[in-house]
Amino acid sequence: MSIGVSNAIFALVLIGASVLFYRNLSRIRRNILLGRDLDRTDNKPERWKTMARVALGQSKMVTRPIAGFMHILIYVGFVIINIEVLEIVLDGLFGAHRVFSGFLGSAYQSFINFFEFLGVLVLFSCIVFLLRRNVQRLARFHKPEMKGWPTSDANYILIFEIILMFALLFMNASDGLLMSMSVADLSSAGLDKYNTGINGGFFFSSFLNPLLPSDAASLQMVERGAWWFHIVGILGFMNYLPYSKHFHILLAFPNTWYSNLKEKGSFNNLESVKKEVELMMDPTADPFSAPAPAEGEVPQSFGAKDVKDLSWKQLMDSYSCTECGRCTSECPANQTGKLLSPRKIMMDTRDRLEEVGKCIDKNGADHDDGKSLLHDYITPEELWACTTCNACVEACPVNIDPLSIIVDLRRFMVMEESAAPAELNGMFTNIENNAAPWQFAQADRLNWVEED
Amino acid sequence: MAQMMAEGKKPEVLFWVGCAGSFDDRAKKITKAMVKLLNAAEVSFAVLGTEESCSGDPAKRAGNEFLFQMQAMQNIQVMNAYEVTKVVTTCPHCFNTLKNEYPELGGKYEIFHHTQFLQNLMNAGKIKVEGGKFAGRRITFHDPCYLGRANGEYEAPRALLTKLDAELHEMGRSKARGLCCGAGGAQMFKEAEKGDKEINIERTEEALELKPDIIAAGCPFCNTMMTDGVKNKEQEASVQVKDIAELIAEAQDL
């Protein structure tokens, strides 16, 4: 083991990638915390269970068996292959070669074979996923909101994963050939490092052997090339995540932990409204004796116009969305040709939040760019198409709640803009005047008893 | 309720009739079927009658939180004054609102959807559900969103239907994946947004694929939407849309 220039370069690359990733995470955290306060820390045992079941156990993915199963292959592959990545990082920092083989002895070969097996399954799943998107062209991947970047993003991710798996396999294949050379051959080529006592024999990657050169020096170039490509690729991919829908691989966990644990039908009761209504209903209330609002306190709007009016959890939801479109394909409004797509609600929320974040970076926190989530991104027609049936909430594999955003935006339209559709205004008036959504007198409520 | 209080009696349960159950001609039949069943089971119950107000559900789903909370607080004042402890309702929207949204505003009661209440009565042997009349008939059940997904109750209606000895056929989209009838979220009170199909037609077509004799519903609004759908498909001569309470009352010749 000797630490050389290449190890120093590797350390710099690793530190650089980590710093960049940390800065990206901080940016997203800052953006999420632009949202309103919300307490989601109650009932912790249930929260851990939900996270274990939904994120770790992928319980909602398998509702669609084919996609669900292959997603689990990629997920398990990703998590377990990271153990080999850890070895690569340690080798890179300390100039070792296959540092785990020293601890594991003969079991090492089985481990690598198992990793390769997973790698092949990941490869297979990614190829099938590419075919589903681009050849079979599943409808939910080709809705209007998927045009342009979202479609490219999805393809880049899959292609990148395929390339990374090939890099891993080429690395193992060339390394396997090197390590099976005689001690003398390795020594004469100045490659004593590859004399690890493992004689190659990695099952899956050995299928690539016919493609590889036979002399030690060229093999070493392939091995080093694949090694560097693979690890730098992974570090690059890590920094691609915060700009991509693929960020869900991290946020799925906190997002399910902070899930809404109430019944899905339970919409929150706005505290701001409750105060006003209590004042109205209380005959002894004196509105003039109410304490004046604190200096500089801005009264909370009723409902949401922009991302800052949403809760931090709704904003976290938007960054957790991987645009799979299960919500949209289950949505009764979308199925019958209406403009509403719950996935678009989430994508718009994230895009607007990114825009607000950039605006803050550029112009400071108080700058108003004159735009808002409602109207500039999401139109009333989309919002009024919702039947609040909760199909989107049920369908989401990471417990995102598009419905709560739809309702908060509706609240703003109705209570702040008085912009409900005329028929709904009629319904409101009826409820106010005669306590029913239709024009029947409250005095007639019991007439059914007398009728036949 | 006022009458019972005046007589010094305290009913076991409040039957929350709801606006549809009070005013809609089709839904009134569900209300009456439910009353027959409650009487047959000798349940001591009362209704609020003219003191009942809209639960506020359509206002809340449409975004009018003010109106919702006004309605809720009025209803809570009335129910608290009568010391109501248990409520049963034939409307999943009232059920959901009273069960999940009233407690925070000071209205804490035990709320049952009528299928849950009837299932309890059946289990306690207070009503017998025998299906001689329905033997061999094909029934499919349309899950109301606000009973199913919104509150996780899929079994009570099915437990009742199973007792009818009918052939129960499930639609492809049922239970947690059940398709909405199109009425929720205050859509009942407005025209649908622009699209290429009405949601109730989509759902009715799915139900009709099973060639049912009866489409069973558990919600007055679903009932209206499915009835309209069946009429649109000109199948009303051969396919009935019935609430579960009506089916059970009918099975017992009530």
pLDDT in tens, B20-69: 999 999 999 999 999 999 999 999 999 999 999 999 999 999 999 999 99
* Helices and strands in chain A, H and E counts: 18, 0
Can you tell me the ipTM of this complex?
0.96
pLDDT at A287: 66
Task: State yes or no: pLDDT of A104 exceeds 90.
Answer: no
Closest to A101 measured CA to CA, from A84, A89, A116, A114: A84
**Closest to B241 in 3D by CA, of B253, B251, B254, B222:** B222
Of the candidates A111, A118, A86, A88, the residue with the CA atom closest to the CA atom of residue A198: A111
Could you give the CA distance from residue A277 to residue A298 in angstroms, rounded to a whole number? 19
Residue A418: what residue type?
S
Q: Cβ contacts of residue A306 below 8 Å, gap of 6+?
A: A352, A356, A372, A373, A374
- Report the residue of A261, A277, A393 to disrupt the B interface, i.e. the one with the largest count of B CBs within 10 Å: A277
Cα–Cα distance list, A231 to A227, A228, A239, B159 (Å)? 6, 5, 13, 57
Q: How far apart are CA A428 and CA B62, in angstroms?
A: 9
| pLDDT value of residue A426 | 97
| A360: CB partners within 8 A, 6+ apart | A367
Model confidence pLDDT, tens digit, residues A110-135: 889 999 999 999 999 999 999 999 99
Residue A431 in contact with partner chain B when CB distance is under 8 A? yes
Using DSSP, state whether B167 is helix, strand or coil. Answer: strand
pLDDT at A194: 86
Q: How far is CA A353 from CA A53, A356, A390, B84, B141, in A?
A: 29, 5, 24, 46, 42
3-state secondary structure of A124: helix
Window from A181-185, A262-266, B128-132 with minimum mean pLDDT: B128-132
CA distance B249 to B245: 6
Kindly report the nearest CA distance between residue A142 and chain B, in angstroms: 18
Tell me the pLDDT band of A230, cut-offs 50, 70 and 90.
Answer: very high
CB contact, 8 Å: B106 with chain A?
A: no
Closest chain B residue by Cα to residue A449: B32
For residue B8, what pLDDT band results from cuts at 50, 70 and 90? Answer: confident
A277 C-beta neighbours (distance < 10 Å), count: 21
Mutate to test the interface with B, among A389, A390, A405 (most CBs of B within 10 A): A389
- pLDDT tens digit sequence for A387-402: 999 999 999 999 999 9
- Alpha carbon of A381: minimum distance to chain B alpha carbons (Å): 7
Name residue B113's beta-bridge partners. Answer: B89
Question: How large is the average pLDDT for residues A236-241?
Answer: 96
CA distances from B101 to A141, A266, B13, B55, B72 (A): 37, 6, 20, 10, 9
| Integer Cα distance of A406 and A240 in angstroms | 29
Which positions in chain B touch A379 (Cβ < 8 Å)? Answer: none
Structure confidence at residue B6 as a pLDDT band (50, 70, 90): confident
Contacts of B32 in chain A (CB under 8 A): 448
Mean pLDDT of chain A: 93
- A337·B152 Cβ contact <8 A: no
Residue A296 has a pLDDT of 67
pLDDT in tens, A56-79: 999 999 999 999 999 999 999 998
The answer to whether A342 and A392 have CB atoms below 8 angstroms apart is yes
Q: Please report, to the nearest 10 degrees, the dihedral formed by the alpha carbons of residues B60, B61, B64, B69 taken in order.
A: 0
Quote the pLDDT of residue A291.
66
Q: How far is B184 from chain A (nearest CA, A)?
A: 5
Sequence ranges of the domains in chain B: 2-120, 128-251
* Structural domains of chain A, with CATH: 5-32+64-257 (1.20.950), 271-286+299-444 (1.10.1060)
- Can you tell me the distance from the alpha carbon of A43 to that of A72, in angstroms, rounded to the nearest whole number? 28
Q: How many residues does chain B have?
A: 254
- Decide: A192 and A95 in contact? Cβ < 8 Å: no
Q: Which of A11-25, A126-140, A204-218, B32-46 has the lowest mean pLDDT?
A: A204-218
Say which residue the tokens 């190829």 belong to: A127
Residues 6+ apart with CB under 8 A from A417: none
Cβ contacts of A336 on chain B, cutoff 8 Å: 192, 195-199, 202
* Smallest Cα distance from A402 to chain B, Å: 14
pLDDT number for residue A81: 86
Contacts 24+ apart (CB under 8 A), A432-436: A432/B67, A432/B70, A435/B52, A435/B53, A435/B54, A435/B71, A436/B19, A436/B22, A436/B23, A436/B53, A436/B54
CB B4 within 8 A of CB B46: yes
pLDDT over 90 at A350, yes or no: yes
Chain A residues 239-278 with CB within 8 Å of chain B: 262-267, 269-270, 273-274, 276-278
The whole-number pLDDT of residue A102 equals 82
Q: Which of B50, B15, B79, B162 is nearest to A442 (CA)?
A: B50
**pLDDT beyond 60 at A1:** no
Give the nearest chain A residue to B147 (CA atoms).
A265
DSSP conformation class of B169:
-
Residue B192 has a CB neighbour count (10 Å cut-off) of 18
Which residue, among A54, A262, A383, A390, would best test binding to B if mutated, counting the most B CBs under 10 Å from its CB?
A: A390
pLDDT at A196: 79
Of A73, A62, A78, A77, nearest to A129 (Cα)?
A: A73
**Among 3.30.70, 3.40.50, 3.30.300, 1.10.260, what is the CATH number of B128-251?**
3.40.50
Are residues B194 and B118 in contact, defined by beta-carbon separation less than 8 angstroms?
no
**And the tokens for A62?**
């398998």
Tell whether A60 is within 8 A of chain B (Cβ): no
C-beta separation of A351 from B213 below 8 A: no
What Cα–Cα distance (Å) separates residue B199 from each residue in A411, B27, B169, B205, B234?
Answer: 24, 21, 21, 10, 17
In B56-147, which ranges are E strands?
86-89, 110-113, 138-141
Q: Which of A100, A34, A109 has its CA nearest to residue A306?
A: A34
pLDDT category, B245, cuts 50, 70, 90? very high
Assess whether pLDDT exceeds 60 at residue A375.
yes
Judge whether B167 is closer than 8 Å to chain A, CB to CB. no
Q: Which fold has domain B2-120?
A: Rossmann fold (3.40.50)
